Structures are given as C-alpha cells and as structure tokens.
Amino acid sequence: MSERQLRDLAQERWTRSGTVGLWRTLGYQLRGWDTGRAVVAWQATPDYGFGTHAGHVVQGGLVTALLDAAMGGACWTVLDDQQIFLTADLRVEFLRSSPADAELVATGTVVRATQRVVFCAGELHGPDGVLLATSRCTQVVLPAEHRANRLRRDDAAAMDADAGADGAALD
C-alpha cells in the first residue's frame, strides 16, 4: 500500500473511530500511523482507576483496551479497504501499575501478516518511558462485506455526513 493510500485509509478509519465508540468516549489520540505500526495515547485520570497506598492506578481492563486499540490500529495498516478483522486472541502481561494521573502511550506493531491472520504485539509506556505492560494478539482477516462487519459502507457514509466539519483529521 502506498503512503498516500495508507494516509487516506487512516483518515477514513480515524474519522469513524473519532465519531463514535471507545476512542471518543475515553479520548484516545492517534499519535502515529505507519505501515505495521500505530501509536495511541490516552490521558488517564483517577476516574478510571482505583486507589492504592501508592496512589490511583488504572484498572487492568482499561490498560488492555488501550493496548488493543494500538494493535488494532497497526493491523488496519496492513489491510486494504476490502478487508476487516476480528480479534481471535488477546493477552496482556502487566509489568507495573499504570498511574491514573498521567498520559499512557501504547504502541502496536504487526509481527507477521498472512492473507488470513495478522499477529500483533503491543507495549504500554508511562510518562517517564517506563514499560508498564506488554501484549500480543491474533487478528482474523475477513472480507469487508462479511456479516461480522459492524460498520458497513452505508453506515460509514451516514457517519461521515454526521461528522461534517467536526470530523477528526490527521496532520
């Protein structure tokens, strides 16, 4: 896929994600997007964690969601506009507590891609660059018109119209 095609596809998918869903609800920010790689940042707050003797930490499910978003973003970069994917397997290793009052940055990379399966890895770093968690996932590649596609073309067109001038843009 050319750099221009990747950018166009990224713009389309980012607009969809920025309009509805988890990215908008939690305020995820796409920091970088290249073939086989995506970087997603999130400003965690104590509202998304729990208190400990050392301060508030982010709940593990939210750490997993952020890593999943980064790995999913990386997966999109190796697919064309006629493909979607579903996560078949996702594992996370929590190495340290994630602070609930800091920016967390997840990087997802494609380890190997075949016609039917994409294997990805993820790392989550805290504001000081310390590695907080790692992850791996297996993505099953399907045709875009598959019944598992929750966002078909007609739905996407309606969302694009709703986004209007407020749609997110990649610089």
Q: Report which of 116, 21, 111, 35 is spatially closest to residue 69, judged by C-alpha positions.
A: 21
Residue 23: per-residue pLDDT: 80
Residue 54: per-residue pLDDT: 80
Domain 32-154, CATH among 3.40.50.1000, 2.30.250.10, 3.10.129.10, 3.30.360.10: 3.10.129.10
Letter for the amino acid at 37?
Answer: R
Q: Report which of 107, 127, 129, 130 is spatially closest to residue 33, judged by C-alpha positions.
A: 107
Number of C-beta neighbours around residue 72 at 10 A: 22
Q: pLDDT truncated to tens, each residue of the chain (171 aa)? A: 566 666 666 666 656 655 557 788 888 999 998 999 999 999 998 988 899 988 899 999 999 999 999 999 999 999 988 899 999 999 999 999 999 999 999 999 999 999 999 999 999 999 999 999 999 999 999 998 866 565 544 554 544 444 444 444 333
* Rounded Cα distance, 63 and 97, in Å: 10
Q: Report which of 138, 74, 130 is spatially closest to residue 103, judged by C-alpha positions.
A: 130
Residue 6: per-residue pLDDT: 64
Residue 148: per-residue pLDDT: 59
